[in-house]
Amino acid sequence: MCGRYVSSLPAEALVALLDTVGPTPNWAPTWNMAPTRDAPVVRRHPATGERRLDLLRWGLVPHWAKDPKTVRLSINARSETLSSTPMFRDAYARKRRCLVPADAFYEWQVVAGGKIPHAVARADGQPMIFAGLWEGWRGADGTVIRSFVIITTDANETLRPLHERMPVVLEPDAWPLWLGEREGDVAGLLRPSEAMFRVWRVGTAVNNVRNDAAELLAAV
């Protein structure tokens, strides 16, 4: 599961890390990225094959939807059913795959009496790159919505005490395959990460999407 995450790296850092070209959009760093917000995402341009860094809305709207307001918001997609779930199968089959950079993500551990928020980050200090799918929706009035969803898989041993699911975290050598720059077994990438992760408890301020500051990551 992934319902909130941190996206605080500046644009120039993401361009260098993910080797993108073309215009770079402007956005403000956030320590509490929430569904329906625009987030930096890397896609392969369908015409040129170049990697582009774009802002897409978190919460996938399928291209066949008549009205995006009536579609159930999907922020996560189970890796096991991408090819069969109507919401995601077109994007998966047509290689509308993307990379979603994150500094960390939040997970809520269910305990007696409530839920305790935790932060999760790579132990090596590097950003996490989630596997995602994207879609483009166009309304009759010409309105265009480009949106994405984060793919999840079974949690690894470190994260299993928090939640049974985790985002699919891709290593650099997997990025070209996932983006469709080379052929190979894409489904084989959709597995629990073998990277080392840090997990720490954070304050309940993260529960409110209006709270957005680096202090949300402070350990309690």
Q: For the chain, how many residues are written?
A: 220
Residue with tokens 């073309």: 22
* 136: nearest Cα among 124, 125, 145: 145
Looking at the DSSP bridge assignments, the partners of residue 102 are 128
Give the active site residue among 2, 164, 171, 181: 2
Whether 183 sits among the annotated catalytic residues: the reply is no
CB 164 within 8 A of CB 154: yes
Burial of 209 (0-12, 13-18, 19+ CB in 10 A): middle
Whether 2 sits among the annotated catalytic residues: the reply is yes
Give the active site residue among 12, 107, 164, 194: 107
Q: Which residues are catalytic?
A: 2, 107
